[in-house]
């Protein structure tokens, strides 16, 4: 009976960790506010764990959760760069210092 209880507990723990490993919903239009490469709004479209990104410079790319931190980081293929995102998905900060915020109006540059 002890072994059965241990197995059930192990399976329950695995199920809980899989459920809590969900990444935030990053789908939306983002405004670059720091170290911008261009003046367009950036866009992320998320389908499960797969992400399609168009940067503020208009560069399209695929992205996916970072292997070591899937609930807080993504890897952007075309930029060959990682990024950390906030738990609510409203902020994305790239390793080079570029910062995107969701829900802001586009910045008009002169």
Each domain of the chain, given as residue ranges in start order, spans: 24-102
What percent of the chain clears pLDDT 90, i.e. is strictly above it? 70
pLDDT in tens, 45-89: 999 999 999 999 999 999 999 999 999 999 999 999 999 999 999
Q: Is the dihedral angle over the CA atoms 44, 38, 77, 65 positive or is it negative?
A: negative
- Band (103; pLDDT cuts 50, 70, 90): confident
Measure the CA–CA gap between 4 and 41, rounded to whole angstroms.
54
C-alpha distances (whole Å) from 67 to each of 31, 74, 77 are 26, 8, 13
Question: Looking at the whole model, is its pTM more than 0.85?
Answer: no
Nearest to 71 by CA among 4, 20, 13, 107: 20
Compute the C-alpha angle 63/66/68, nearest 5°.
Answer: 170
Ranges 14-23, 33-42, 51-60, 66-75: which has the least confidence: 14-23
Class of domain 24-102: mainly beta
Measure the CA–CA gap between 57 and 78, rounded to whole angstroms.
12
State the alpha helices, DSSP H only, in the chain.
2-20
């Amino acid at each position: 009976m002890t072994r059965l209880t241990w197995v059930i507990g192990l399976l329950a723990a695995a199920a809980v960790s899989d459920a809590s490993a969900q990444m935030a919903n990053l789908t939306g239009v983002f405004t670059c506010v720091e170290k911008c490469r261009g003046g367009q709004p950036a866009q992320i479209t998320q389908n499960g764990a797969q992400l399609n990104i168009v940067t503020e410079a208009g560069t399209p790319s695929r992205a996916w959760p970072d292997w070591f931190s899937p609930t807080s980081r993504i890897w952007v293929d075309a930029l060959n760069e990682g990024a950390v995102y906030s738990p609510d998905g409203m902020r994305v900060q790239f390793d080079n210092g570029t910062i995107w915020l969701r829900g802001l109006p586009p910045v008009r540059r002169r």
